[in-house]
Structure 1
């Protein structure tokens, strides 16, 4: 698919993702986040009746003097404090008010749409004791493009994402601020101008919005989408690096990988075989074994590829869970006090993903070190400079780009310390073991961002290397898939030093838009 066709597909009419009790996928959330899908609450009367049963049961329980955590009691360690009946209606608004203490950068619009969609998915399971009107309010915000300004810092990942989700609760009630068409607007004004009536939260509804894993789960969905593409892109770069280094394609032999049967690793090797025909390697004088960053590339990229199904399972199970507390079983008229707000599965997935992704960054950084070094790149010029003659003395090719790629790699590797092991006892030792899932997810996205920067640098490098290898060894023709990739990169060869930041920004935009179709 050509780039113009790809972007035409991206801007096609959005599909509709229906929210009910059916299972959603990571792709559903990503499509909503990226504007490729709209969110719709199911109009099915049976579904809406099931939602209403939980809220109606809770109302009846309150009329009968029931005792429910977070409804007739204070929150957290204050669960022993009884709330007078005449103040029960005010309690949800106090919850989001005192949690208005988030700091850090605000989540961007795509992340915020994903957060709203993830919270809607959980509440639509029908175990949170909320009204249909509350669910519709989330879809109204998405439809109107009114996105709460949600600070990224302040969640320990249990009791859910309380502080960041307080900004969603507040906006639904016409408080705090929203993004609207790239501008910050007072929520009360934005809702009024969109014809949306602010909510007055019913008992338990503040807790239902805030006491869950929507932020970390939404970020995990976005991280998964980026990591999935990275597997293929790092493989294609490895193929081009092997070609540039005049490497040994037999390292990816099918029989060789059949005897170490990790399926993801095997798929990476198969993709490399697709890109690197072995028939051209039967020449004398070649190095018998390539260095590890080429020879073992399937083993490095394959760790991420093999972990992806587990990551998907953890993320999608969390996405499709009712994860607040207490849960309201309207059908059997029970209040279930538990700990489903705990984000340990997301924390584990994000800590694991950032480790595997950073290892891919390190692999590509090592490949680049070989490619630019005249001692190891099998006859290509130092720093892959394309300059010849007297001007070669003043041209330095990709010397600085390799330094920058190394810096981005180092920063990614530094962030691989698992966040989940840094549990802190909080809130008067009520929340004495917490997941740190949201911090892990934020770390993972940062590692992905840095790794994509390394990828952009490598795309420039292998494009330049392929050009120089073709010039030095015209008998080594690029396989059609690789030739098409080089053409699609649309980067001019570097025969005279030039600034590369504009090329890097352009490549990053293409990477994040998944602009190139890679492998079947």
Structure 2
């Protein structure tokens, strides 16, 4: 495996995804400068403790309890108590890929050197990632400030030997104490401030945001491919994507989608045989305008996510250079909340676009010669067969649920923790909502991919597909078989959803599609 060095260089969304999918190992910098930076922060904290300085979360209680002084002889027990009383997470556990993304995201922040943690803690996080021994993290219980306290407590708890972990696969969950015993490894003893450094930050919401961003790219790409195939199957008008037309509205992402559709449809040839209809319905004609909103937003979405990823976002920060304790609110996940609230609206709109395209494909009154419900049955068997009728109902249900999930989570701030946390970001809930919208849209995309391939084959248009659309059709046909007689399509659809989740389309065809 390739090795990603974490600590000196800013990370990208793609690098987080690669680690999350266990496609690369991680390591800490070997430079003396970086190691001295880490050591200076830890030494400065030790000196403050010797001088009996007051440090929030180190010599005081947490949150509203910040005025409660911790006796010197109990200071070293405080991080353990922090991890324990936050062990109240509920809901579905984060899957292994997401949990790995959380661990590497937290490592990225702590390895910047402004959190006052020890080298030993960072090395233990590296060990977890490389050995694929990953804390089991409940998804619910964070309001997004003071960061993801409760879910991140499951990392702290695992480090000290008190929680469960995924052992090399999501199917096996064991207490980490058993792993430590088997491998003859001592549980970590958290130093003062290390419990707070691990837990008081935005790692969960940011990790989910990284994964969501890449899945959204997949949805944008696949929805454009499906649109191209549906324009062919529905005898649409490719001149709707004319270069001069789109030059008059200078949204670059929207123009990019139109350019892809022109190229993939070989518009110069198709226009000569275009439909007598002057204008297609909006779900075909305006596809670049819908998909293009996400494409044009990718710049600021990436900026928000990667800035948060490469930040020191716990409190207080420990300045290892000027030797200062800096109290602030960098645990607040407002940028991730905004990014995810916006992303889920963009993606739900794409689901709605696809839903409307499928409605055209299955309805014999508007599908320009395709059989009812895209059935592939013989004329004799036609009365019995209903093709994609139920699939269209399912797509309608998934789309409706996605649209329902688009209410912004960030506006539901709740005053918590004795009104100390009186304005919170809801960033983690926003990220989880976006994940749900993305999954529902992936289900819609799976159905539309099958329907578009079915329609192309019904019209006998295989020879009119260019290289890229042929590649996409072949990708779909690895999971889907032409529907002649009615059969359950659940497994076909689920297999495609699973492949969308793993970004197969991007991984397999990204370079070819980008060149196109």
TM range (shorter): over 0.9
Aligned to 1:465: 455
Aligned to 2:245: 256
Q: Cα gap change, 1:497/1:204 in structure 2, threshold over 3 Å: closer, same or farther? A: same
Q: Deviations over 1:312-358 (max 9, x none)?
A: 00000000000000000121110000000000000000011111001
Matched, 1:168 2:155: yes
Aligned to 1:234: 223
Partner secondary structure for residue 389 of structure 1: coil
Contact 1:144/1:194 (<8 A) preserved: no
Partner secondary structure for residue 38 of structure 1: strand
Contact 2:215/2:438 (<8 A) preserved: yes
Aligned to 2:259: 270
User: How do 1:137-216 residues align onto structure 2 when only pairs under 5 Å count?
Assistant: 137-181=124-168, 182-216=171-205
Q: Deviations over 1:110-130 (max 9, x none)?
A: 011100000000001100011
Select the residue among 293, 297, 318 that pairs with 1:303.
293
Give the C-alpha shift of residue 99 in structure 1: 0.5
How far apart are the structure 1 equivalents of 2:328 and 2:130? 33
Aligned to 1:220: 209
Contact 2:61/2:70 (<8 A) preserved: yes
Q: Deviations over 1:476-508 (max 9, x none)?
A: 822332233223322322121111111112212
Unaligned runs of 5+ in 2: none
Matched, 1:243 2:196: no
Contact 1:156/1:435 (<8 A) preserved: yes
Select the residue among 315, 329, 332 that pairs with 1:325.
315
Aligned to 2:468: 481
Unaligned runs of 5+ in 1: 1-13
Aligned to 2:421: 431
How far apart are the structure 2 equivalents of 1:142 and 1:34? 11
User: How do 1:335-354 residues align onto structure 2 when only pairs under 5 Å count?
Assistant: 335-354=325-344
Contact 1:346/1:437 (<8 A) preserved: yes
Runs of 4 or more above 6 Å deviation: none
Contact 1:21/1:126 (<8 A) preserved: no
Of 179-188 and 34-43, deviating more is 179-188
Partner secondary structure for residue 322 of structure 1: coil
Select the residue among 353, 361, 365 that pairs with 2:355.
365
Using the size of structure 2 for normalisation, the TM-score is: 0.96
Give the C-alpha shift of residue 410 in structure 1: 0.7
Contact 1:140/1:196 (<8 A) preserved: no
How far apart are the structure 1 equivalents of 2:35 and 2:198? 18
Give the C-alpha shift of residue 86 in structure 1: 1.2
Give the C-alpha shift of residue 18 in structure 1: 0.5
Give the C-alpha shift of residue 192 in structure 1: 2.3
Matched, 1:376 2:366: yes
Give the C-alpha shift of residue 199 in structure 1: 1.0
Q: Deviations over 1:374-418 (max 9, x none)?
A: 111111111011123221111111000000011111111111001
